[in-house]
Amino acid sequence: MKPALSAVLGIAMIAAAATAAAQPAADPEREADVPAERNTSQVAADAPANRADDSDNPLFGESPLPLNYPQFDLLEDRHFAPALDRGMAEHLEEVEAIAGNPEEPTFENTIVALEKSGRLLERAAGTFYNLVGADTNDARREIQAEYAPRLAAHEDAILLNADLFERVETLHEQRESLGVGPEAVRLIERYYIDFVRAGAQLSEQEKTRLKEINAELARLETRFSQNVLAEVNASAVVVDDRDALAGLTEQAISAAADAAEERGLDGKYVIALQNTTGQPPNTFLENRDLRRRIHEASIARGSRGNEYDNTGVIADVMRLRAERAAMLGYSNHAQYVLEDETAKTPEAVDDMLSQLAPVAVANAKREGEALQAMIDREQAAKGEPTFELQPWDWAYYTEKVRQAEYDFDEAELKPYLEAGSVLENGVFFAANKLYGLTFEERDDLPVYHPDVKVYDVFDEDGSQLAIFIFDMYARPSKRGGAWMNAYVSQSELRGTKPVVANHLNVPKPPAGEPTLLTWDEVTTMFHEFGHALHGMFSDVTYPYFAGTRVPRDFVEFPSQVNEMWSDWPSVLANYAKHYETGEPMPQELLDKVLASQKFNQGFATTEYLAAAMLDQSWHRLTADRVPGAGDVLAFEAAALARNGTDYAPVPPRYRTPYFSHIMGGYAAGYYSYIWSEVLDANTVEWIENNGGLTRENGDRFRQRLLSRGGSRDALQLFRDFAGHEPRIEPLLERRGLTAPAVDDPDAPPERPSAPVSSDPLSR
């Protein structure tokens, strides 16, 4: 599952950007001792003065570059704090003028005025938090820690403003008689919902406590994020002996040597960790002890009792979230979150996950039996005692089974998957065939890191649609995962066009070597570009609805649809060519790739569902039931057992102490990937049945869904495109999970699948 997207700035989203900087693997930050009850004018007044000369701060005005592209070449770390300070102060002045307007509230003088407010803060915070995710440093971490609670307080100062809420509430009551269009009516409704969900109807005493909770959560979530990044770097596995790296490619070994040299460990090798539990080198490493070391280093992150230990942070965050949910009238944080998603209720999420989990775990156990049989055979052939399959063995023996069953291994693919060709001859090629887009790389715009590329994006008529930023390589200053964010969002009201970015974490090869991708990295590139298309095709009036500002459990849907083009025959034939000879990928190899698509899906689905159900378990707790720091891992183990996903060889994709998604925008929402995949599978089925890669299909998807952003009900957008309600069967078929789960006599009986209703995925 690929994380995606940044929280986008807006009146109700500023603190979200502070705590989930570049989404899905959240970037919340560290502490600054600012009392939550203070309003933003106090915060701004107390902020350190003269941190930069105002005259040279590029954030203070709109960028003069095309489409307001950020002036990365002029930006210095000293510019961020003054811009954030001034941005908060100006925004609060604008909001107070709206709230105190003596005229009767109208759509123009209240809602539209709010949509036009906060431009400096949006520009400063958006640029800053995007860079924190992509290329952080000590100075940025300090600013991030200081401003997370300040931005939370700023949001509270707006959404808990009684006079402002009174105006919004009045318009909400009158919305059907105002004579404004459907998008405007929906905007009024969304503002009202945001204010209510933020606590606008609470008593003053309750509001005071709510502000304290929000400020403390901003500090804690920030600390969690910084701990995760720091320990990923600190937990890298050091290898003394080159022979221990047998199984890795020469390129991978050279990269490990370079990583060691950068740390002053000449003559050694460093295996850097990725953010997930499973670590890619374990697919190929022959040395079982080294595989075990890597796995144990991975799962111990955040719970070692060192300075990066996150168990206490988790306990405090879950307790505060539960308290806040109860204050707002909800049974738990999950109920609070899901009410505003397409799922609507925790029960709806349970219904879908409980359909999938028994089948997935049963399939994983069958896969595990096949792996154990291979281990037994190999050990017997060597005359050595066998051993029990462990998590650090799974990827290694899975690759062996793949080779035996499909007669190929991943290493055979990589020479045909050169990164530049995948992007320009694959991702861009598909976008041209579907939507008529063309792309031109430009080197005259500044970038924040030398590895970043920039492209102009043109519509079929030659007009500029957007600017696309592509940031492919992993580095210590970049958070894990893959995601999209927007530096500038489209809006007719503001007259802006999109500047969007995709970020991956592909290991950078040694100098002079080509970047050869795994198949998963290829599909990730297509996936993240699906998010970029969602942002670039936005065609809405109001910033609130622009691009990816849709429910969390809908936002992954368009990006997952875009993955289908990675192995579409005409697309793959255009990019999958040997990087040295230019020869196309042999049809025989392609056939093996396609035939193996459902291979190991029991594992993949189980590790994901274990994490998704763990997320739900944490967020169903009331404050009095949240375990203390010392019991966090025990709670996790009990939750996995209760959910039926505690199959030892397949641990969760993320364990709680490094589960960054649930500290940001995916709290109680990690289920969103599989929820969205139901819509995706239905949509892919529709496209395949209606001609596939055609302009007609692309234009239909663009016009009826991608361009609409959040301006219409999300599931209605799906129905507008597909012409029917979503069904779960296409997803089960895609993942090869249609076989009955009969292997485990203790597993609960399968529920019959049913159509997905317009509310939740149906029961």
DSSP labels for 73-85?
A: TT--GGGHHHHHH
Write down the pLDDT at residue 159.
97
Q: Which of 291, 256, 541 is nearest to 397 (CA)?
A: 291
Domain locations in the chain as residue ranges = 14-225, 235-300, 414-595
Q: What angle do CA 226, 231, 232 make, to 5 degrees?
A: 100
Place of tokens 């041209």: 432
Residues with Cβ within 8 Å of 422's Cβ and at least 6 positions away in sequence, in order, are 517, 522, 525, 575
Do the Cβ atoms of 275 and 657 come closer than 8 Å?
no
Place of tokens 């100006």: 90
Q: Which of 130, 37, 136, 48 is nearest to 85 (CA)?
A: 48
Q: What is the pTM of this model?
A: 0.86
Q: Which of 155, 128, 160, 120 is nearest to 144 (CA)?
A: 128
- Mark out the alpha helices in 108-249 (DSSP H runs): 113-116, 119-134, 138-159, 162-174, 182-198, 204-234
Instruction: Find the distance separating the first CA and the last CA of the chain, reported in whole Å.
Output: 24
Write down the pLDDT at residue 6.
28
Which strand (E) or helix (H) includes residue 200? none
Write down the pLDDT at residue 594.
78
Same fold, 14-225 and 414-595: yes
Write down the pLDDT at residue 714.
95
Q: Which two tokens stand for residue 455?
A: 């492209």
> Which residues are tagged catalytic?
528
Write down the pLDDT at residue 28.
25
Helix then strand count (H, E) for the chain reads 28, 7
Instruction: Give the residues of the chain that fall short of pLDDT 70.
Output: 1-53, 738-763
pLDDT tens column, 422-432: 999 999 999 99
Domain 14-225 has CATH 3.40.50.720: no
CATH class of segment(s) 414-595: mainly alpha
Write down the pLDDT at residue 490.
97
What CA–CA distance (Å, rounded) separates 175 from 168? Answer: 10
